[in-house]
Structure 1
Amino acid sequence: MRRLEALSNTIFGVAMTLLAYDLPKARGFAKAPSWIDLANAYAQPLIALMISFIVAGMFWFSHHRRLAVAPEGSRGEVFLNLIFLLSIIILPVTNGLYGTYRLDSVVAVVYGVHLTFVATLNALLWLLALRGRGDPELLATAIFPVFALVFGTVMAAVAPFVAQFLWCLAFGAPLAGWLAARRWPPRAN
């Protein structure tokens, strides 16, 4: 799992850096841009970049926390981790699409489905890491983003502008974990 951790650091670092690849370049302007030109060129891609960067950072943190909780894993768990990392590698692709066509419902749904897939893989890996342990805080923290992202993705089909705000609910995962820990204290092993 230590080798997987080193690989994941590289993958997350490269994927998070590539999120900026689709930002408009200065050569795209025929002359020095006005404030309105800059806002029109950069607003959508920057919103997508910020959402994707924060989401990737959240999953990077969760991934490292999970590897600390379960420092050993089966061959199947390593393979599932690799699929999780593949879903992170694809993030710059869907981010670029979303940054260009953020208010299109089809694109917003594709982006939301991708984020939900990443969250679902993360939650599944947490379920495997917490097998036999009664830790409602970690479990709720892992599962909550899936529900928030599904809700936002469903909304993306009818109101793509609203979906971006609903996806941000996934960042409430620590609060969901805290509430779960208060409601269901961890059981003794």
Structure 2
Amino acid sequence: MSSFLARRLEVLSDTIFGVAMTMPIYSLPLLDRHVGEGEWHAAAKVMLRPIFVFGCSFLFSGIFWFSHHRRLSLTNANSRRYLFVTFSFLFLVVLLPVPTLLYSHDGTTPWIAAFYSGYFAVVAAINESLWLATISSMPTRPWRLVIGPGILALVFTIATMVSFISPLASAITWLAVILAPLADARATKSPL
């Protein structure tokens, strides 16, 4: 990939990630009146789920953003197919507010929890396919670099399946996402 095209793709992806990661904050429920001393717990309860979901979406997107930039710095792929898949990945990032808002309104419904986890599973699968394409085009082919992105795809796929049984257990499954950056750091022997 030419350095000019890589820089343009990097700028575009930063813009897309930035907008998609911050847009859900505008939908957080704001209190329309002053909360008295005895009512703070009720106000906190209303805002707790949306803030938690926004935080999770922000964290997951941040992990994908970091992975995306690491991949862009290594890529030599200049095929139209690679660019098409990259744009598909970025298009899914643009859609981040949709599952985030839906899940923040009702995360206890199994199909909504599955939709939220499934969204991240699809993003992770495309991210993994981009990593595989990048590594296969490199002369040294350091396959260990696909471990972290692969963990993301696996965790979100498992979380999607678990969502149909228990939406709460699905949210607990997301904790395993932290293994991806740890595996990346170990595979590349670099500090977090």
TM range (shorter): 0.7 to 0.9
User: Does the 8 Å CA contact 1:12/1:89 hold for their aligned counterparts?
Assistant: yes
The answer for the alignment partner of 1:66 in structure 2 is: 71
The answer for the alignment partner of 1:46 in structure 2 is: 51
Shift of 1:71: 5.0
The answer for the alignment partner of 1:95 in structure 2 is: 100
The answer for the alignment partner of 1:162 in structure 2 is: 169
User: Does the 8 Å CA contact 1:8/1:85 hold for their aligned counterparts?
Assistant: yes
User: Residue type matched to 2:105 in 1?
Assistant: T
User: Does the 8 Å CA contact 1:156/1:163 hold for their aligned counterparts?
Assistant: yes
SS of residue in 2 equivalent to 1:130: helix
User: Does the 8 Å CA contact 1:15/1:91 hold for their aligned counterparts?
Assistant: yes
Q: Does 1:172 align with 2:179?
A: yes
Shift of 1:76: 1.3
User: Does the 8 Å CA contact 1:18/1:92 hold for their aligned counterparts?
Assistant: yes
Cα distance change on mapping 1:5 and 1:71 into 2, 3 Å: farther
The answer for the alignment partner of 2:119 in structure 1 is: 114
| TM-score, length of structure 1 as denominator length | 0.88
User: Does the 8 Å CA contact 2:148/2:183 hold for their aligned counterparts?
Assistant: yes
- Within a 5 Å distance, the mapping from 1:122-141 to structure 2 comes to 122-131=127-136, 132=138, 133-141=140-148
User: Does the 8 Å CA contact 1:142/1:173 hold for their aligned counterparts?
Assistant: yes
User: Does the 8 Å CA contact 2:35/2:43 hold for their aligned counterparts?
Assistant: no
Q: Does 1:32 align with 2:35?
A: yes
SS of residue in 2 equivalent to 1:158: coil
Shift of 1:176: 3.1
Cα distance change on mapping 1:180 and 1:10 into 2, 3 Å: closer
Length, aligned pairs only: 180
The answer for the alignment partner of 1:185 in structure 2 is: none
Shift of 1:87: 0.5
- RMSD between aligned alpha carbons? 1.8
The answer for the alignment partner of 1:84 in structure 2 is: 89
Shift of 1:178: 5.5
User: Does the 8 Å CA contact 1:19/1:96 hold for their aligned counterparts?
Assistant: yes
User: Does the 8 Å CA contact 1:19/1:53 hold for their aligned counterparts?
Assistant: no
More off after superposition, 31-40 vs 51-60: 31-40
Q: Take 1:111 and 1:11, find their aligned partners in 2: how far apart are those partners?
A: 19
Shift of 1:180: 5.6
Q: Take 2:154 and 2:74, find their aligned partners in 1: how far apart are those partners?
A: 23
The answer for the alignment partner of 1:147 in structure 2 is: 154
| TM-score, length of structure 2 as denominator length | 0.87
CA offsets 1:33-86 (integer angstroms, 9 cap, x no match): 622222221111011101100000000001000000115521111111111011
User: Residue type matched to 2:153 in 1?
Assistant: V
Q: Take 1:79 and 1:136, find their aligned partners in 2: how far apart are those partners?
A: 23
Q: Could you list the runs of 5+ residues in structure 2 that have no partner in the other structure?
A: 1-5
Q: Take 2:17 and 2:173, find their aligned partners in 1: how far apart are those partners?
A: 24
